[in-house]
Structure 1
Amino acid sequence: MRRHVNQRQAQVLELVRARGSVRVAELARELGISPVTLRRDIEAMAARGEIRRMHGAISRVDPGRAPSAVSAAATAAAAVAGAGGGGGAAEGLVVGMVVPTTEYYYAEVVRGAREAVEARGARLTVGLTRYLHGEDRTQADRLLSTGAHGLLLTPNWETGSPGPGEGAWTAELPVPTVLVERWAPPGHPAAALDRVSSDHAHGAARAVQHLVEQGHRRIALAGRATPTTARLRAGYEAAVSALGLEPAPPWPPAGPGPLSDADMFARTLDYLCEAVTAGGVTAALVHSDTDAIMLIPRLQTRGVRVPEDLAVITYDDEVAGMADVPLSAVAPAKHEVGARAAALLLDRLSTAAAQDDAPRQHLDLLPRLTIRS
């Protein structure tokens, strides 16, 4: 029989007082509840000063410990929990955001999150990973240690989703967490987290559809490997199949070992030249804008005219409009992704005490296609 939230929290409190401290993941298994449900209980109990939160664990409050000495996170959470959620104020809350960089693509994501956080009276702090292995967890721990009440998290997953044995720690964090521009497959622990991301597969398919409307029947996808690539490839291949297009020539097999950026760029240039001159390709979706802008003059030097021989649509739309011949581009809703993720997290924080077992949300925002002549 399902226990009432008060009974469940009373049992948590009893176990913590008896043992002094306990890891959150172990406690969830022992009680037979999900880590997400337990984290909400912990938020509410910490807000009342009944327990102390630590990274991945909770501990009892020392006897005689004054409520004013309870962590700032608990105090702020208590204030907003009483005020309710639904877009209301979140004064005093600190939102931690872990991203690879605040440049290029993520500049707008961070800007959207910051505006949404500050509009609710909260504060955003940022940790940068520079795509370094293991740095995402290090930055998450750092933000938690400095008082973050919740996390917006973009892990360093090479394909945009966790690889084998990777990423389970994101579901064990002791505060509400929202994945940003990342996803996890069903069955992975991180799949139970809230997430907000761009539907890159839809964006790629929309580009293919537009090129078909312009009369193209053999369309290539080109660009270096990024966390976006897998979803772009899935959408591109689905559109080629659904529209009955002739497949583009396959990419040549990669040699042993990873390729440098320069090698990958040269490989992309060779592929497109061969695809046009011998493979019948007349259009391409190129990821990203900067690669496309660098590729076009090199293609023309090798006798491939753009757009006469090869029509190009780029993906990201960061600088496509600033090319000497402005390029049509697919633009993920980066600013809105950051804003939606922040709002979702603040809603979780503001209603942590009252919103028991509320459904998680997976929001996919559709990119826009901008046509430039």
Structure 2
Amino acid sequence: MRHHVDHRHDRVLELVRERGSIRVTELAAELGVSPVTLRRDVDMLANQGKVQRMHGAVVWPGEAARAEQPDTGGRVIGMIVPTTRYIFGDVVSGARRVVEAQGGRLVLGVSGYVDSEDPVQAEHLLNSGAEGLLVAPSWFVGAPAGGQEEWLMSCEAPTVLVERTAQAANPAALLDRVRTDRAHGAALAVSHFASLGHRSVAAVLQEGPHAAGITSGYLDSVRSLGLETVPGSPCVRMSGQEYDEVAEYLVEAVGRHGVTAALVHSDEDAIVLVPRLQARGIAVPEDLALIAYEDEVANLADVPLTAVAPPKQAVGELAAKLLLQRLAERSAGREPEPRQHVDLLPKLRVRASCGALRASSGTE
């Protein structure tokens, strides 16, 4: 095996010496190896001073002026998100700002919440010159199930999970990750309701990657604060479910179970539900105080919504910084620092819908 590696390195040196500079993707194709393997070879040769590595290209020492260089002159970072809507627009913006500040370029892939599209986008980005990946996989429950992590674990490029997690026993738990602590956000909301005197708090959540974290925070805080347990709460709204059904759930919660407050994920769902509640005789916030989760458009509602606000841009920024650190460690041949699982805490932005406009602990 070592013989094959040495032979490939000799061939890399031969081709780079002949041409002065050559694109990494072109060199990989000519040698019949993957771009990831070729990048590892180039890193090793660059550390030995035998070649110079520039943006997307390998350069013979002293021939840097001949290298083909994009305008950015830095690293190419690939980022895969399920959508550019909702929280991910700001997450992408944060990552892009950090990468471009380092003279690099962020290249985007979108999976459309189709699980099988994640590895397709990853292969395309890596073959196009991306050196590492920021990935928010299309894991429906926010964590891998049924081997969904396998393509990630076979990826040789440094990878950081964004707004996703993995169970402790899952191989993907070994990856770096940066995410919002959604349980903390739910606890902030319930604690704020309790501080306003509410003793019975319901929750209405969207099914999807964030439901588990919000559910955990909601239930834990209800128990720890000694609040009343609401039958059927949290109510998880299934995709395609009529909003009228959810409104009826809240009406029953108010009328039969004495509920006076509710956490609703997301902003859009809360905005849709308010007029339906009012049409059924439930005024917000007089009869039912509301806190939304996401704070994308909460302040634009007819009754401005108090909202849990994830640190979206900060998630993208820290994920990009962590990936750039991993790439620098690899290029320098240094022992990588321990893997990191970074959880960022949301804030609570108090507006009219919760019935209180005063700030409270942990709010903004």
What's the TM-score once normalised by structure 2's chain length? Answer: 0.79
- 1:168 and 2:146 correspond: no
The answer to whether the 8 A contact 2:79-2:133 is kept is yes
Match of residue 335 from structure 2: 356
* Cα distance between partner residues in 1 of 2:90 and 2:207: 21
Compute the displacement of 1:223 (Å): 2.5
Farther off after superposition, 128-137 or 231-240: 128-137
Match of residue 137 from structure 2: 155
Match of residue 160 from structure 2: 178
Compute the displacement of 1:136 (Å): 1.1
* Cα distance between partner residues in 1 of 2:213 and 2:106: 29
* Cα distance between partner residues in 1 of 2:232 and 2:124: 44
Partner SS state of residue 257, structure 2:
coil
| C-alpha spacing 1:54/1:339, structure 2 compared with 1 (3 Å) | same
Where does 1:18-167 land on structure 2 (aligned, <5 Å)?
A: 54=34, 73=56, 75=58, 91-167=73-149
Compute the displacement of 1:196 (Å): 0.3
In the alignment, residue 341 of structure 1 is paired with which amino acid?
A
Task: Tell me the percent identity.
Answer: 48
Compute the displacement of 1:371 (Å): 0.6
List per-residue Cα deviations over 1:102-151 (Å, max 9, x = no partner): 12211100100110110011100000111123111111111011010000
Q: 2:323 aligns with which of 326, 340, 345?
A: 345
Match of residue 365 from structure 1: 344
* Cα distance between partner residues in 2 of 1:166 and 1:292: 32
Q: 1:295 aligns with which of 273, 284, 291?
A: 273
In the alignment, residue 257 of structure 2 is paired with which amino acid?
G
In the alignment, residue 224 of structure 2 is paired with which amino acid?
A
Partner SS state of residue 221, structure 1:
strand
Compute the displacement of 1:271 (Å): 1.3
In the alignment, residue 228 of structure 2 is paired with which amino acid?
E
The answer to whether the 8 A contact 2:86-2:296 is kept is yes
The answer to whether the 8 A contact 2:36-2:126 is kept is no
The answer to whether the 8 A contact 1:218-1:245 is kept is yes
In the alignment, residue 238 of structure 1 is paired with which amino acid?
D
- 1:310 and 2:292 correspond: no
List per-residue Cα deviations over 1:181-217 (Å, max 9, x = no partner): 0001112111111100000000000100000000011
Pairwise CA RMSD of aligned residues?
Answer: 3.3
Match of residue 253 from structure 2: 275
Q: Which runs of no fewer than 5 residues in structure 1 stay unpaired?
A: 1-11, 21-45, 62-66, 79-89
The answer to whether the 8 A contact 2:207-2:238 is kept is no
The answer to whether the 8 A contact 1:221-1:285 is kept is yes
The answer to whether the 8 A contact 1:289-1:315 is kept is yes
- 1:320 and 2:298 correspond: yes
In the alignment, residue 135 of structure 2 is paired with which amino acid?
L
Farther off after superposition, 100-109 or 189-198: 100-109
Compute the displacement of 1:313 (Å): 0.2
In the alignment, residue 248 of structure 2 is paired with which amino acid?
D
Greater RCO (Cα-Cα under 8 Å, separation 6 or more):
1
Compute the displacement of 1:52 (Å): 8.3
* Cα distance between partner residues in 2 of 1:330 and 1:252: 17
What's the TM-score once normalised by structure 1's chain length? Answer: 0.77
In the alignment, residue 295 of structure 1 is paired with which amino acid?
L
Match of residue 35 from structure 1: none
Compute the displacement of 1:251 (Å): 5.1
* Cα distance between partner residues in 1 of 2:193 and 2:261: 7
* Cα distance between partner residues in 2 of 1:253 and 1:324: 24
* Cα distance between partner residues in 1 of 2:263 and 2:33: 48
* Cα distance between partner residues in 2 of 1:301 and 1:180: 40
The answer to whether the 8 A contact 1:180-1:341 is kept is yes
Q: Which runs of no fewer than 5 residues in structure 2 stay unpaired?
A: 10-23, 42-49, 62-71, 353-364
* Cα distance between partner residues in 2 of 1:253 and 1:284: 11
Alignment size in residue pairs = 317
In the alignment, residue 157 of structure 2 is paired with which amino acid?
V
* Cα distance between partner residues in 1 of 2:286 and 2:326: 52
- 1:194 and 2:176 correspond: yes
Compute the displacement of 1:355 (Å): 2.7
Compute the displacement of 1:166 (Å): 2.1
In the alignment, residue 214 of structure 1 is paired with which amino acid?
L
